[in-house]
């Protein structure tokens, strides 16, 4: 039997260095989106991310850069997103943004002995574990003392309520997941209030206008009260009623853009008594338009808006 030269037996190994990682969920249901449903890539070179079975995505072996990488996230029936993220060193960076997988509430009362805050009834809350971070106005921070989940939720128990008062807003952080907003062709539940918009050019062909910006400026005839809550700008719209209802939106909720067919969509819980939505529509090369649109709660409303070229 010939002798084996062990010095010549070399094993080639390869190692990868994690650069970016994150996870994607549905903005409406908060359910994690799986690899078969999503595509994540870098716009620079169209490099694809590895997406795991639990919904996490990852990029490896990227060069550190103070300039932002552009991470493109897309999925069928959802609005595409581009997230700007720097990689200062070779250490991995979790791609996460404030105001993503969070619950926004307006405090209606505070019970100090029970460390409880109450708020307008929420039809359904996807589970938020005890210990989740809670962020309030004026630098307030604490954690959930008890898990928050289920149907017809009206209160939360916190580790402390010192400094809180009725009329203040809270951010309750469920997870660091990134959210994809449903697009115009998403199968919305039948009890959702959906406001669909089509933006076209004011010409004989009614040409669809893509990448037109649409911003909500009022709901039920009322402009928002904008408040800084832990560094995030939240807009509270008073809906009226007795007791008075409200809608709380961050900038991602208030703004959207049309797709290649000129379509865009906003959506709200059907329990909110929304009757009108005011919007402004803008696109480079066209006059900005402002409209007040009638909508129907628990139903889908549609409006076509024509822009005049400059």
Q: Are residues 131 and 238 in the same domain?
A: no
Q: Is the dihedral of CA 50, 52, 57, 58 positive or negative?
A: negative
135 in a structural domain: yes
User: Of 49, 65, 94, which residue is a domain's last?
Assistant: 94
Q: Are residues 198 and 231 in the same domain?
A: yes
CB within 8 Å of 264: residues ≥ 6 apart: 184, 196, 197, 198, 199, 212, 214, 256, 257, 258
Q: Are residues 259 and 293 in the same domain?
A: yes
Q: Are residues 195 and 302 in the same domain?
A: yes
Q: pLDDT band for 16, please (50, 70, 90 cuts).
A: confident
What are the distances in angstroms from CA 38 to CA 24, 51, 57, 180?
A: 9, 8, 10, 10
Interval 51-110: pLDDT, tens: 998 889 999 999 999 999 999 999 999 999 999 999 999 999 999 999 999 999 999 999
**Number of separate domains in the chain:** 3
d(CA 178, CA 173): 12
Average of per-residue pLDDT across 212-233:
97
Q: What average pLDDT does the structure give for the chain?
A: 93
User: Of 143, 173, 203, which residue is a domain's last?
Assistant: 173
168 in a structural domain: yes
10 in a structural domain: no
Average of per-residue pLDDT across 155-181:
97
pLDDT of residue 246: 95
pLDDT of residue 244: 75
pLDDT of residue 15: 66
What are the distances in angstroms from CA 271 to CA 29, 121, 141, 168, 250?
A: 16, 9, 29, 21, 19
89 in a structural domain: yes
Neighbours of 253 (CB within 10 A): 19
Domain region containing 85: 18-94
59 in a structural domain: yes
Q: Are residues 39 and 144 in the same domain?
A: no
pLDDT of residue 34: 85
User: Of 67, 94, 121, which residue is a domain's last?
Assistant: 94
d(CA 49, CA 38): 10
Q: Are residues 216 and 246 in the same domain?
A: yes
pLDDT of residue 36: 87
pLDDT of residue 48: 93
Interval 236-262: pLDDT, tens: 999 987 777 899 999 999 999 999 999
Most confidently modeled range among 7-21, 25-39, 232-246, 272-286: 272-286
Question: Is residue 114 a contact partner of residue 218, using CB atoms and an 8 Å limit?
Answer: no
Q: Are residues 167 and 246 in the same domain?
A: no
Q: Are residues 28 and 47 in the same domain?
A: yes
Average of per-residue pLDDT across 35-51:
89
Q: Are residues 266 and 201 in the same domain?
A: yes
Res. 9: pLDDT tops 80: no
Q: Are residues 205 and 291 in the same domain?
A: yes
12 in a structural domain: no
230 in a structural domain: yes
Average of per-residue pLDDT across 270-294:
96
Which CATH number belongs to the domain containing residue 272 in this structure? 2.60.40.10
Res. 4: pLDDT tops 60: no
Which CATH number belongs to the domain containing residue 110 in this structure? 2.40.30
5 in a structural domain: no
Q: Are residues 80 and 108 in the same domain?
A: no
Q: Are residues 132 and 214 in the same domain?
A: no
Average of per-residue pLDDT across 112-121:
97
Average of per-residue pLDDT across 197-216:
97
């Amino acid at each position: 039997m010939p002798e084996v030269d062990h010095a010549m037996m070399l094993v080639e190994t390869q190692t990868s260095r994690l650069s970016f990682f994150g996870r994607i969920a549905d903005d409406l249901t908060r359910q994690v989106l799986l690899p078969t449903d999503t595509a994540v890539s870098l716009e620079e070179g169209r490099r694809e991310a590895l997406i795991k079975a639990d919904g996490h995505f990852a990029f490896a072996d990227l060069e550190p850069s103070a300039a932002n990488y552009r991470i493109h996230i897309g999925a069928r029936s959802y609005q595409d997103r581009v997230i700007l993220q720097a990689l200062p060193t070779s250490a991995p960076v979790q791609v996460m943004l404030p105001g993503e997988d969070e619950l926004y509430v307006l405090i209606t009362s505070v019970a100090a002995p029970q460390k409880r805050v109450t708020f307008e009834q929420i039809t359904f809350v996807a589970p938020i574990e005890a210990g989740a971070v809670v962020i309030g106005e004026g630098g307030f921070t604490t954690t959930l003392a008890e898990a928050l989940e289920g149907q017809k939720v009206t209160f939360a128990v916190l580790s402390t309520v010192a400094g809180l008062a009725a009329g203040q807003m809270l951010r309750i952080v469920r997870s660091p997941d990134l959210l994809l907003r449903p697009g115009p062709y998403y199968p919305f539940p039948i009890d959702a209030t959906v406001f669909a918009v089509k933006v076209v050019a004011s010409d004989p062909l009614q040409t669809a206008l893509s990448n037109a910006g649409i911003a909500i400026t009022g709901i039920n005839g009322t402009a928002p009260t904008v408040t800084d809550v832990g560094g995030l700008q939240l807009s509270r719209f008073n809906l009226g009623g007795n007791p008075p209802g409200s809608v709380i939106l961050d900038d991602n909720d208030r703004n959207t853009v049309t797709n290649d067919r000129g379509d865009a969509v906003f959506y709200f819980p059907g329990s909110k008594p929304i009757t009108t939505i005011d919007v402004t529509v803008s696109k480079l090369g066209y006059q900005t338009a402002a409209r007040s649109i009638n909508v129907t709660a628990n139903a889908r409303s549609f409006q076509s808006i024509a822009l005049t070229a400059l």
